[in-house]
C-alpha cells in the first residue's frame, strides 16, 4: 500500500517524511555507507547558574553525510510539513557554530569590562583569575588554592585577597559571577 493513501503530506510526521522522501533522495545520490542518522554532534549545552551546572541533552542531526572516514561534509535536517524550510535551515546553521575556546570566552569578558564595579587590587585579582582561566579552566579558578600561586603573591595571602572583596563569601560570589559571565552564551 502506498503511504500517500494512508497519510497526506501535511499529516506526515518528521519520521514519515524522512522514510518516504528524504532517505530515498539521499541514498539515490550518496553512498549509504557514508551516511549516519540521528548522529550526536555535541555533548549537550552546559548550563551554569551560580554553583549549579547541568548538561542538556546532546544535539543530534537527522543525517550526517561523510566524504570519507571521520570527515563529515554535510548536515541534513528533516522537518514535518508543519514547519517551514527556513526552520530547518536555521537549526542546521546553529550546528555549524564552533564552540568558544577559553581564550575566546576570556576575550569576550575583557571586551565587556565586567570588572568595572571593582577597583584597585580586587579588579586586578579578577583580571589575573581570567588569565589563569585561559590556561587552567573554570574548575581551577573556582578553587581558593589558586590564590597561593605566584601570580597572586603581590596581593598577599588568600585571606587578605578575600578581604579585598569584603570577605570570603564576597570573593566566592565574585568568582561565581565571573563563571556565569564566561558561560552566559550557554545558559538558556
DSSP characters over 7-51? --GGG--HHHHIIIIIHHHHHHHS-GGGEEEEEE-SS-PEEEETT
Q: 77 Cβ partners below 8 Å, 6+ apart? A: 61, 62, 63, 88, 89, 91, 92, 95
DSSP three-state, residue 140: helix
Stretch among 101-105, 151-155, 168-172 having the lowest mean pLDDT: 101-105
- Residue among 118, 126, 124 at smallest CA distance from 154: 124
- Residue among 67, 132, 78 at smallest CA distance from 102: 132
Over 80: is that where the pLDDT of 188 sits? no
What percentage of residues in the chain have a pLDDT greater than 90? 36
Res 5: pLDDT: 64
DSSP count for the chain of H helices, then E strands: 8, 5
Please indicate whether residue 149 or residue 70 has the higher confidence score (pLDDT): 149
What mean pLDDT comes out for the span 132-144?
A: 89
Q: 125 Cβ partners below 8 Å, 6+ apart? A: 147, 152, 155, 161, 164, 165
What mean pLDDT comes out for the span 165-170?
A: 94
Over 90: is that where the pLDDT of 161 sits? yes
Over 70: is that where the pLDDT of 3 sits? no
Rounded Cα distance, 184 and 49, in Å: 9
pLDDT tens string 92-123: 666 666 667 888 889 989 888 788 889 899 99
- Strand pairing category for 71-76 and 46-49: unpaired
Using pLDDT thresholds of 50, 70 and 90, give the confidence band for residue 17: confident
Res 1: pLDDT: 46
Res 187: pLDDT: 39
Amino acid at each position: 500500500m502506498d503511504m500517500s493513501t494512508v497519510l497526506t503530506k501535511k499529516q506526515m510526521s518528521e519520521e514519515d517524511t524522512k522514510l518516504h522522501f528524504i532517505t530515498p533522495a539521499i541514498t539515490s545520490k550518496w553512498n549509504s555507507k557514508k551516511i549516519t542518522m540521528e548522529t550526536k554532534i555535541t555533548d549537550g549545552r552546559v548550563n551554569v547558574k551560580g554553583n549549579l551546572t547541568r548538561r542538556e541533552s546532546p544535539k543530534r542531526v537527522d543525517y550526517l553525510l561523510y566524504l570519507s572516514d571521520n570527515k563529515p561534509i554535510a548536515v541534513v535536517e528533516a522537518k514535518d510539513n508543519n514547519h517551514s524550510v527556513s526552520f530547518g535551515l536555521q537549526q542546521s546553521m546553529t550546528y555549524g557554530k564552533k564552540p568558544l575556546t577559553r581564550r575566546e570566552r576570556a576575550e569576550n569578558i575583557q571586551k565587556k569590562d565586567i570588572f568595572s564595579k571593582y577597583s584597585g587590587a580586587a579588579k586586578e585579582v579578577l583580571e589575573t583569575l581570567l588569565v589563569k582561566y585561559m590556561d587552567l579552566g573554570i574548575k581551577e579558578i573556582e578553587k581558593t588554592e589558586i590564590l597561593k600561586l605566584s601570580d597572586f603573591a603581590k596581593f598577599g595571602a588568600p585571606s587578605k585577597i578575600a578581604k579585598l572583596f569584603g570577605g570570603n563569601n564576597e570573593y566566592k560570589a565574585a568568582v561565581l559571577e565571573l563563571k556565569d559571565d564566561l558561560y552566559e552564551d550557554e545558559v538558556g
